[in-house]
Structures are given as C-alpha cells and as structure tokens.
Structure 1
Amino acid sequence: MALHVRISTLVLFAGVLLYWLFADTLSRHGTIKDEQPLVVAHWGGYQDYQMWKEIFAAFRLKHPEIDFESRHMPSTRYHQKIQQQIVSDTAPDLFMMENETFPKLIISGKIENISPFVKAMGRWGEDGEDLKNQYWNTAIRDFGEFNSAIGEWEQWGMPLYGGCNLLFYNKANWSRARIRVSEHPDSPGLRKSNSGWWHVNDEKWNMEEFIAVCKRLTMDLDGDGRIDQYGLFVPQKHWQTFHWILGASFLDETYTRSTFYGPECEASLGLWQDFHLKNKVMPTPSALSALNTNTGFFTGMISILNTNTSALMFLNSTDVDYDTLHLPRGNSGRRYTRFFWEGMAISSLSQKKAEAWIMLDFLTSIDAQKIIADYQMSLPSLIASEPYFLRGGKGQARDVDLHKFIEAAESYARRQPISLHWGPMLRALTKCWESLISQNEEFRMTPRQAIARYLFESPDLSEKLPPIDPAAAEEYRPVWEAIR
C-alpha cells in the first residue's frame, strides 16, 4: 500500500513539474494555429522585391488587422520550391503562379475556387463577364475555366501582371546600317531614300522586309570574318510569334489537338534554321556565350530583340539608346504576338482563405496595380491602370514608345497555346528547335525531320495532344522511320 502511495505521489509530482516547465510552451502551441500569419509567396529580382515592398506597405495601411508574412525568392528557385510545396500539401496561403502551369493546377484540387469571393463582392456579372471586362482579354481566362458540368465559368486565380512581346531596337546599330524608323505613317513598310538611308514603317512592314532589315543589320565590324553585330535575337520560347505570323500554329482553338505539322510549320522551322545558320542574322547559343539577351542587346551585339516589358527596367538602367517596334505582318496581312500572365492562387488547404482573398483582391485593385504600373516591369492586368503604365515613374527614364505595348495588347496579341500538357509539349518543342541548329551536323535535322520527331518520338504526348488531321500527320511517319 505504501508503495502505491509513493508511486502516486511521484507521478503527481512529475505532472506538476512538467506543467511548471512547459505550461508556457504548451499554451503558445495550443493557439499557434490562430496566431500564424497569412503567408504570401512571390518571385523576382531586386526591382521586383522593391515593388512588392511598396505594395505590401500599402496593404498594411489599408488592412492593419491582417498579419501576413511575405516570402520572396528568385524565379529559378521559386518555381521548383512551390511545385514541391504544392505536391506535399505545404503550399503558402497565397502564392504566385505562371499562366502556363495553371490548367494543370486547376484540376489538381490544390487551389481554391475563388468565384464565390468575387460574386460576394458584386464583381461577377453574367457568367463572370463583369470580371473579364475589367482586365485584359486573356488575363482572366488564363486563370479560370468553363465548367461544362454546371454550365458556368469558374475563376481559380487572378492575374497580377504580364503583357506581350514587341521588338526592341538598338538605335546606334540601326544608324550604323543606315536604317531609321519612318516618321511618315503613309510610307511603305521599307523604302530606300535618295540619301541612301533605309526607312522602316513598322505599321506596314512584312516578313520579307523584316528579313531584309535583319540581314542589313548583321555585320562584321572589324573584318576578321566573324559577325560582331547580329540583326536579331528571338529567344526560343518567343519564336511562337513568328510561327503564328507565318500562318503556322501549335494547337487548335480548343487547345486539345496538335497542329504542329504542314507546309506553314515547315516554313517557320526553316526560317528559324536559316536565321541561325544560313543568313546568320541570329547568334547561336555558342556565339551568344555567357551573355544574356538583355546584355547582348545593350552592348550592341544584338540589333533587334524580341522580348517583353520585363526588359524595360533593366534597359533603362543602362545608357543604351533604344525604342520599340511592332511585329511584321505575314502573307495574310496579319501580325501576332504572345500574351503572358503571372497571377496568384489561394491554397485549398489554407486556414486563412478569407484573409488570402482580401489580399488577392487588393493586389488586383487599382491601388496595387498603380504601383505595378509605376515600376513598368510588366503590364498590369487591370485595364484601368493603363494610363499609369504609360506615365510611369520608376521605370521609364527616357522617351520609349510604350503605347505600342497597349496597341499590340488591344489588336494583335493572342493567348499562348496553353494546355493541360504544356510541360511535355514544351519539352518536345525545345528538342525540335535545338535539333534544327545543332552545331554537330550529324545530329542536325531538317524541318520535316524535326516535325516527325515531335509527332512520333513521344507516344504519350501524341495520345494527349493527337493531330487534328491524322492523315496529314501520318505523312511524316516515313521521315521518322528513316531517322529513328
């Protein structure tokens, strides 16, 4: 009996001691779920970081009741990490995503349907039309989908900023080649004056005239037999603008069937190859070496750069004299460029969905969109912020025609060929482009061979994105059988 009393006394004493030692810790951890801040994840460089600091400071003034923590990472690390967090169910409450990966994210069950939040604020309208009309055409559509089961549009994320591609040109290089942009709107796309100068009207120029300008801009400046000044550089992922201009495409209008074959596609791939190897108006990856494209442009190595608004902040920090040009027109008389958007989604596992929506609503409001516009690193998704983008403040340090971005967005920018299978499609396309300009002639492919490789090397991709015209695609099978 005495033994039982002693044991009971020891257990009671141990319990009191443990409570005394850890009561404070237990108290804190017992309520930690409620005390955790809203976590917001985003990416970018130093300028992006400064922009986000300003946006968050404005949010704190408007919503001091919401405690939040921002997590900023460089783009390369961010995308890898956020994918790991999504898979492991540890994603932040509110996180940034690109439009290319969004269709797959919607069906994953990992993000919240925000349609109810939008409707509760009276911003929805008939089938989301009010929301769609407030933002650039493709912006809202890239972060939502039509649910055929219920016959309604559903919004799963909101666009923050993005924009479209234009041509940036180095004025010193153009002067060296005796080329200038025409000031006469009625002049032809390209003409030579009596003084020997060539004049470009980028409202009217076509692909033939564009190629002629690129060839003229390509120069060996010191006579050593090597090109020092290239006419053009188009990053591989941006070639789709010229692919469209030449009448080719990647997917049909439903984004479910492949159209990557046929004469127009072969012409596009042939031009990509010729630009690198025959005309040599574009540097190969080895010629560009360690330089990134922006650096190659401001040092004068590249005369025309196909890029987007993200280049503005960097180029304006240099002394390069540059401006923007519209894309040339194809045989149809039409021109195209690509829209891209970056947006935010709310984790479906978030315990702070209401606070996350308040933050997301603020990020897409005029208060935050004006700050994004002020930095001019991208085109804000809210149409009402357009005047602030054109006026700028922190981004524009010189007389650059930014209105052309608005003109392109309004008239000829189109949605990227985004599908559920964007990842494998992009990898297959990358192999296709690279095979066309391989420095090893043994591995270099013709346009027909590259298309055959795309169509038949990855059976899984063919099943997911079958050709819209199987008979036309089958014409490439003998080519594939000959090279496999």
Structure 2
Amino acid sequence: MRRRRFLSGALGASALTALGATGCGNMQSADPNTITFMFRGSTEERDVFSRAVKLFEERYDTTVNIISTSADQYATKLQTAILGGRTPDVFYFDAGRATAYMVNGVLADITPYVESTDLPVDDIWQAGLDLYTFDGDQRGSGPIYGMPKDLGPFSFGFNKSLFDEMGVEHPDPDVPLTWDEYLSRCQQLTGDRDGDGKVDTWGASINVGAEIHAFLWSNGADWLNEDLTQVTVDTPEFAEALQFIVDLREVHEVTPSINDTEGLDGYQRWLRGQIGFFPVAPWDLTLYRTLDFDFDLCPYPVGATGKPATFIGSLGIGVSANSTKKDMAAELAMFLACDPEAQEIIVGEGQTIPNTQTHAREWVKDTSTEPQNKQEYIDIVEDYGRFVQDMLTYTPEWLHAFHTNLQPVLEGRRDVVEYLAETQQSMQGFLDAGNEQFRIDQEANS
C-alpha cells in the first residue's frame, strides 16, 4: 500500500481517477521473442530511435513493440502503466524519479546483464552510469538499475552572424566572460537593427528555470547542502546571482521585455536571429542547424568563483522489475546506450552527444556541422557540468516550489532577498517530506 501511495502521489488523486478509466492496455507481450519499449520525444527523436530499434531487431532476431508519445504525455502514461501493473519491458524514466522507482521495485537490477554483455558499456561516460546506480541509501554506487539514454550538457551558444553584423567581438571558446564582460557584450548586441525606432535585437533571453543553475553555481551558491538535507537558497551568493538575472531585463534592458515576449518569446526570437546569447543543448541541434544564421558554443559567463558551471541532463532507460524477458530487455537498454552503430544513428541526426567516450573523441573533431566548438559539450561532461540536485533527491517537488511565486521577483516587483528567505522555508518543507517518505518506503520494502 505504501508503494502505491507513493507512486500515486506523483500524479494526484484527480489524475488517478481520470486515468483509471482509460488504462494503457497490455504493455508486455506473451510472445517470448517480443518485448515492448516505451519512450518519448519530438517527432524527429522518435523517428531516430525507431531506426535504432529496427537495427536491434535485425541483429537479435527479436520484435520490439514501440509505444512512443510526446514528452508532455509521457509521464502520465508511464505512471498509469506502473500503477496498473502493466509496465513495459523497457522504458524511459526521469532521473528525478529514479530513487523512488528503485526503492519501490519498479526497476530491475540489470547488473548481471551489464557484467556479461559484449557491448561497450564500460565506455559510457562514468557520470551517466553512476547516475543510475543505487546502494539502498544513496545514488552513485551499488547495483545498476538503468542505462543513460544520454548525457545532455546544457551549453551556452551565440549567434555568430549577429555578432559580426553588430561588430561585436566573439566570446573566447576557452576563457569564460565575467558577468561584467557578458553584460557589456549584451549591451552592444541590443539595438534597432532595421532602423524603425524599435529595439529588435537583444543580447540574451534568459530562461530562468533552465539557466539559473549556471549563474548561481558559478557564483558559489547551491540549492542544497552536500548531504541533500538542507535548502540553501537564502545565501548572499544565491541572492546576487538571482539579482543579476533580474537586472539584465529590469535595469539593463538587454533581454526582451514582458511586452516584447507577448507575441514572440525568447526562444522564437533566437530562432529568428534576434538574440545574441542563448542555450544550445544537444537536443536542439537538429533544428538549429536549419536556421538562417551561424552559431557556435562558448562557456557560460562566470560569477565570483571565476569558474563556469551548467547542468547536465539525462534520461534513464530502465527494465521493468516484472518483465518476464529481462535478458532481452536489458540488451535493448544497453544497445541504445552504447552500441556503435546505434549511436551513429542517434548522434548523427543531432539528438545527443555521443554516449561513449571513444565516439566522443572523434565526434568533436568534425567541424563540418555546427557547432564547430563541439569540445564545449565534452568539457561540460568531463569538467564543469553538474546534475541538478532534484535528480538525486527522493522527490523533486522542493525545487518546483522555488518557481511557484517567482514571477514578481523576475519583474522587479518583489525583493530578491526577501523572496529567497521565504521560499527557503517552503522548499525545506517539501524536501523534509520527501526524505521522510524515503525512510518510510525503505522500511516498507526492506
């Protein structure tokens, strides 16, 4: 009962009521040579991974029933399947839910299959492998409960064409800009390019939910303490980072105003070539390579530490603990994560960086496709990238609470320090509740 209560809590009672009437059908085949794979993504990503699965079927003489959904539908459909005891043999899962899935018996321990495979699992980025291990108390060691579908270094990019047109010096690919230098570049890039008297280019457009990590970490701040028990947003270093982001729009006016984003948001303006600096994550490359301007990568600007920082995302590929074909299911998970031919398909279409180190060393040498500075992605994985801590805690709601009432702060209508002091208490409550639920579920499943 505790296991079901925890999993259902992720959706809420009203969602469960609605979902109970629809169901997901049978997600495991009775055919011994057929396994089911459930995953998510854009139309392009689903096409790419379907091609990789086809290669698996041919090599292993196995049939894979594919269930693919858009990203916004996936979590609900997966939870419905889990709650109904119809978990697919192989499935994507969010790293932030991994510990709960491990503790509550949703994911199979695939260590024996990893140890006996001929696939180059040992060549996968160690950070990706460690993320899906769990020793019963914490992540990062112990049995393996999943393969990394990818490591997604959230890099910073710039519009080379706009820089050249505005006569602005390109950022150094190896030496990060300070916040002051970054602001200066943004000011030079903000202007009226078509001469109609209205600003139509901006230095940057900040997505706070995604980019705040880079600013706070480089300034010496963090979300939680080292053992993940205390929320630490109420510090001067954190306040300084958040205030810098707010001031980019409200004081310096180098990002689109609220009125400017009513018709076109920052992302859409970047696609139109109107933004100087903008994130360029690996999953963006398929689209970004079709744009009418040249772009490249650079480190994020740095705060007081003088060291760049950004986050690394990841999805896991797991095997259902109740699958009757765990051997073949584990083989598919490993195949998608590291088989050289499968990786050529996935990486070649601009969906991820290489999941294996050997492939990555060759990939960064290719300057025929953008970005030319692919080394930046590898630097993030090997050097200055981090996992956001909601990927490691039992539940991610504590971080969601930070953004609940953030908008007045971003608009300069509420004091940053005051907000952080207040929201720290709310976030701590969610973190404590998640840690207590972890303890309860450990005891119930021990």
Q: Same fold (TM over 0.5)?
A: yes
Letter in 2 for 1:116: P
SS state at 2:314 partner: strand
Distance 1:102 1:162 in 2: 15
Indicate yes or no: 2:317 matched with 1:320.
no
Q: Name the % identity.
A: 20
List 4+ stretches of structure 1 deviating above 6 A.
none
2:372 matched to 1:400?
A: yes
Cα offset for 1:202? 5.1
- Partners of 2:143 and 2:263 lie apart in 1 by 44
Structure 1 counterpart of 2:47: 50
Which whole-Å CA distance do the structure 1 matches of 2:141 and 2:296 have between them? 43
Distance 1:57 1:385 in 2: 21
CA distance in 2, matches of 1:249, 1:205: 21
Q: In structure 1, what is the equivalent of residue 72 of structure 2?
A: 76
Cα drift, residue 295 of structure 1: 2.9
Q: Report the alpha carbon displacement of residue 262 of structure 1 after superposing the two structures with TM.
A: 0.9
Alignment equivalent of 1:416, drawn from 375, 382, 388: 388
Please give the per-residue CA displacement for 1:326-368, whole angstroms capped at 9, x wherever unaligned: 2223322211111111220111122221221121121122232
> After the TM superposition, which of the residue ranges 349-358 and 428-437 deviates more from structure 2?
428-437
- Aligned residue identity for 2:379: E
The alignment partner of 2:150 has SS state of strand
Counterpart for residue 451 of structure 1: 420
CA deviation map 1:244-300 (0-9, x unaligned):
011111012223322211100110111121122111222356532354554321312
Matches within 5 A, 1:443-482: 444-457=413-426, 460-461=429-430, 463-464=432-433
- Name the structure 2 match of 1:155: 144
| 2:166 maps to 1:177 | yes
**Aligned-residue offset at 1:376:** 2.3
What is the deviation of 1:403? 2.0
Aligned counterpart for 2:315 among listed residues 332, 342, 350: 342
Q: Is the 8 A contact 1:373 1:389 kept in 2?
A: no
> Over aligned residue pairs, what C-alpha RMSD do you find?
2.9
Amino acid at match of 2:282: T
- Residues 29-428 of structure 1: pairs in structure 2 closer than 5 A: 33-34=30-31, 37-64=34-61, 66-121=62-117, 134-147=123-136, 153-181=142-170, 203-221=175-193, 226-238=198-210, 239-284=212-257, 287-289=260-262, 291=264, 293-364=266-337, 365-387=339-361, 389-390=363-364, 397-398=369-370, 400-417=372-389, 418-428=391-401
**Structure 2 gap segments, 5+ residues each:** 1-28, 436-446
Structure scoring higher RCO (CA < 8 A, sep ≥ 6) equals 2
Listed one character per residue, the Cα deviations across residues 194-232 of structure 1 (whole Å, up to 9, x for unaligned) are: xxxxxx565142222112111221224456665321211
AA at the equivalent of 2:357: I
Match of 2:13 in 1: none
Q: 3-state SS of the aligned residue for 2:65?
A: strand
8 Å Cα contact 2:36/2:66 also seen in 1: yes
Could you tell which deviates more after superposition, 219-228 or 47-56?
219-228
How much does 1:70 deviate? 0.9
Structure 1 Cα separation of the partners of residues 234 and 327 of structure 2: 47
Take 2:302 and 2:427, find their aligned partners in 1: how far apart are those partners? 34
Seen in structure 2, the aligned counterparts of structure 1 residues 465 and 256 have a Cα distance that, compared at 3 Å, is farther
Contact 2:273 2:292 in 1 (8 A): no
Question: With structure 2 as the length reference, what TM-score do the two structures score?
Answer: 0.82
- In structure 1, stretches of 5+ residues that fail to align are 1-31, 124-129, 183-199, 467-484
**Do 1:256 and 1:419's aligned partners in 2 also have CA atoms closer than 8 Å?**
no
Aligned mates of 1:40, 1:292 — CA distance in 2:
35
Task: Compute the displacement of 1:319 (Å).
Answer: 2.0
Change beyond 3 A, Cα 1:363–1:422: same
1:168-201 C-alpha deviation (Å, 9 max, x unpaired)? 111232123321227xxxxxxxxxxxxxxxxx56
Matched-pair contact (CA < 8 Å) for 1:220–1:229? yes
Distance 1:289 1:87, change over 3 A: farther
Counterpart CA distance in 1 for 2:186 and 2:252 is 9
SS in 2 for 1:179: coil
Distance between the aligned counterparts of 2:107 and 2:232, measured in 1? 31
1:429 corresponds to 2:402: yes
Aligned residue for 2:364, secondary structure, equals helix
Post-superposition offset of 1:448: 1.3
Shift of 1:421: 4.5
Offset of 1:152 from its aligned partner?
6.2
Contact 1:373 1:385 in 2 (8 A): no
- CA distances 1:54-73 after superposition (whole Å, capped 9, x unpaired): 20121122111x22201111
Structure 2 counterpart of 1:146, one-letter code:
D
Secondary structure in structure 1 of the residue aligned to 2:274: coil
**Equivalent AA in structure 1 for residue 206 of structure 2:** V
The offset of 1:429, in angstroms, is: 1.7
Q: Secondary structure at the match of 2:151?
A: strand
Q: Distance in 1 between matches of 2:342 and 2:241?
A: 40
SS in 2 for 1:181: coil
Which structure has the larger Rg over C-alpha atoms? 1
Cα 1:36/1:460, change in 2 over 3 Å? farther
Cα–Cα, structure 1 residues 319 and 225, in superposed 2: closer, same or farther, change >3 Å? closer
